[in-house]
Amino acid sequence: MFSYNQKHKMEFLLISIPLILLWWQSCNAFPARSFYANQSTLELVHLLFRHGDRTPETNNLDPNNPYYAENNYYPYGYGQLTNVGKVRVYELGKNLRKRYNNFLGKAWNMSSLDILTTDYNRTKMSVELMLAGLWPPTCSSIWNPVLLWQPIPYNYEKRANDKELSPFLGCTTLDALVNEVMNNSSDYINARYGEVFRILENGTGLQNITYLKAFFLYFGFTIQENLNIPLDYWVYTVYPEPLRSLAIEYYYVETNNTKLRTIMSGYLLKKIITDTQNKINGFSPQGRKMHIYSGHETNIAALLLSLDMLKVVELPPYASYLAVEIHRIDEIYGVKIFYQDYSSEDPRGPLKLPECEEFCPFERFVSLVEGILPKSDEECYGSSTK
């Protein structure tokens, strides 16, 4: 008869032998050759992605909506990542692991990644899940043999201070500039969407529907449809079109001129450029591979439009991403930009800046975007010191 302790030792051995074999195999079966040839020239990746599927925020809903109450979105609550969204961003992480496997290698350490998210529950949860797919522990970093997950830290700025990822909330100069564009285009906007605003006012019971409110309601309708919650019959008179066009056009409004592009994309671009310079000059932490940004569809659309890289005709879908890849080819550092919008299996790209090549030498890239790089915090907060 086994004693209690012996019995447990036996169980432990029986369980651990296959696990040790698995561990041995995965630690030694490192692919010998680069899966994607291009990874051999890769030096650094700046990755901006959109969170996964979510429930509506109150600003996406109207009080007349029979599904306004939060218990309709049980167990998530307003504005939160859903289970469908969790799967989507986890899969994103696994796909990025495939795309960058050889470049990233297997061993993660504190220097490998630098991660910023916006101050939203859904973007924080999304980046956690993305990282679970991107970087499961291997070998000596396995701390629990049945949970192949490792904690990886992220950072965020409070919304009011987040110039890089939430300028639409934090930058006090934004509204007046957007209103100026709207005002200048008011004839066009009224001709194209005036009727839509009236229908929305009548249907929602809200007075004074603004362009921005219509934009938010469009997201609400989309989300409700995705959750299989019925929409009021009147909604279909404006949804999906022309509300969908209105929503997409908003990205053109918020990037309509140099000042707006500076606010909406300039601070993030400045960080991307600084981080790249540090990498090139050997000032970044040893082994730095990727800067990851967990944000929103508006971050992606604004960057695409601010750099005139793509005519945006669709909303950047959940878990879409922009990858700003820094390659060194023949001793020249340069930028290749890819956009995964799931219109096909591979991301689009390399996308071109109008005056550069698909592989855009870094110095040239910097000189082309210089016009929308902020000089200080003033572009975001105005002359009042913050």
Ligand X SMILES: *[C@@H]1O[C@H](CO)[C@@H](O)[C@H](O)[C@H]1NC(C)=O
Write out the residues near ligand X by the rule CB under 6 A.
Answer: 36-38, 77, 109-111, 119-121, 180-181, 183-185, 199, 202, 207-208, 210, 249, 252-253, 255-257, 286-287
| Minimum distance from residue 145 beta carbon to ligand X (Å) | 23
Which one, 252 or 381, has the nearer CB to ligand X? Answer: 252
Which one, 163 or 336, has the nearer CB to ligand X? Answer: 336
* Per-residue DSSP letter, 54: B
Reported in sequence order, the residue ranges of the chain that DSSP labels E, i.e. its strands, are: 42-50, 113-117, 155-156, 290-295, 321-329, 332-340, 348-351, 360-361
| Minimum distance from residue 22 beta carbon to ligand X (Å) | 24
| Minimum distance from residue 81 beta carbon to ligand X (Å) | 10
Contact 292, 123 (CB under 8 A): no
Give the whole-angstrom CA distance, residue 103 versus residue 105. 6
Place of tokens 């692919």: 31
Q: 152: which 2 tokens? A: 């990886």
State the burial class of residue 365 (Cβ atoms within 10 Å of its Cβ: 0-12, 13-18, 19+): buried
Q: 314: which 2 tokens? A: 């669709």
Give helix then strand counts, H and E, for the chain: 13, 8
Which one, 121 or 277, has the nearer CB to ligand X? Answer: 121
| Minimum distance from residue 111 beta carbon to ligand X (Å) | 4
Which one, 16 or 184, has the nearer CB to ligand X? Answer: 184
- Which residue's CB comes closest to ligand X? 287
Which one, 312 or 319, has the nearer CB to ligand X? Answer: 312
Give the whole-angstrom CA distance, residue 112 versus residue 79. 31
| Minimum distance from residue 187 beta carbon to ligand X (Å) | 9
